[in-house]
Amino acid sequence: MPMTEAKFIFPDWPAPACVHAASTTRRGGASTAPYDSFNLATHVGDTLQHVQQNRQQLREALQLPDEPAWLEQVHGVEVVEAGGSIPGVADASISTERGNVCAVMTADCLPVLMCDRQGRGVAAAHAGWRGLAGGVIEATAERLCRRLACDADALLVWLGPAIGPQAFEVGDEVRDAFMRIDTSAGQAFIAHRPGHWLADIYLLARQALQRQGIEAVYGGGRCTYSEAEDFFSFRRNPRTGRMASLIWLSE
């Protein structure tokens, strides 16, 4: 498949001019089915040459100041610094340095991008249901606020494309995990069939952010499962590619 121009989603949020952010779609790139065509992950079985071509196109199209800090994501709550050596195993990264690119990859899980209102720091978190229940959003916000010596209400948050509430079917164990954290999580689950629920991952994330005192939350509303032309979806096809959500500071 010849490489075509990649398509991006840019957050509609009141971030400072020095904060740059984007989410990729599956459109554009060099990968062939079932990774067609802008797959950015090296761990899913795609041809390495195609992934490298896609990553090069990503850097050029977004004029990235450096290679993104690609993480080995494990649905956990570890938060690392984006700069310096290879980040390693983690599900979120932060940076207060100009030119470091925080990045997470998803294909149904929720990408969460953060910055402060003054443009001094940024963060990216990978939030599947396990990470959400484990506190990855809280851990990321706390790490960024600690570094910036600011309160949580100084942060802006953008929720990237994830599986929508009409498609995200989960079992009792998932609902129970969130209900143990906060009974208001019940608002995010609709009974679907015996022992199964439709879960609203966007609402669960907003509830977690609200508990942290973060009210300025933007984005949400896309569905990676149902919007097959735009997004990879692990639920729809376990052998598939990954999108990336990225955020960085410029001078």
User: How high is the pLDDT of residue 86?
Assistant: 64
Q: What percent of the chain has pLDDT over 70?
A: 97
Tell me the residue range of the domain where 90 lies: 8-164+217-249
Residue 187 domain-assigned? no
Helix (H/G/I), strand (E/B), else coil: 153: helix
In a domain, 205, yes or no: no
Q: Residue 75 sits in a domain of what CATH number?
A: 3.60.140.10
Distant-in-sequence, close-in-space partners of 13: CB < 8 Å, separation ≥ 6: 156, 158, 216, 218, 219
Residue 179 included in any domain = no
Q: Kindly tell me if the per-residue pLDDT of 215 is higher than 80.
A: yes
Q: Is residue 126 part of a domain?
A: yes
Residue 67 has pLDDT above 70, yes or no: yes
Burial degree of 176 (CB within 10 A; 0-12, 13-18, 19+): exposed
The number of distinct structural domains making up the chain is 1
Confidence of residue 225 (pLDDT cuts 50, 70, 90): very high
| Residue 183 resides in a domain | no
| Joined tokens for residue 151 | 């309160």
pLDDT for 194: 95
pLDDT at 88 over 90: no
Question: What's the confidence (pLDDT) of residue 83?
Answer: 82
In a domain, residue 56? The reply is yes
pTM of the model: 0.96
User: What is the per-residue pLDDT across 108-126, written as a single tens digit (0 to 9) for each?
Assistant: 999 999 999 999 999 999 9
> How far from chain centre, in Å, is Cα 136?
11
Alpha-carbon distances of 34 from 23, 24, 51, 223, 235, rounded to whole Å: 20, 17, 13, 19, 14
Residue 212 within a domain: no
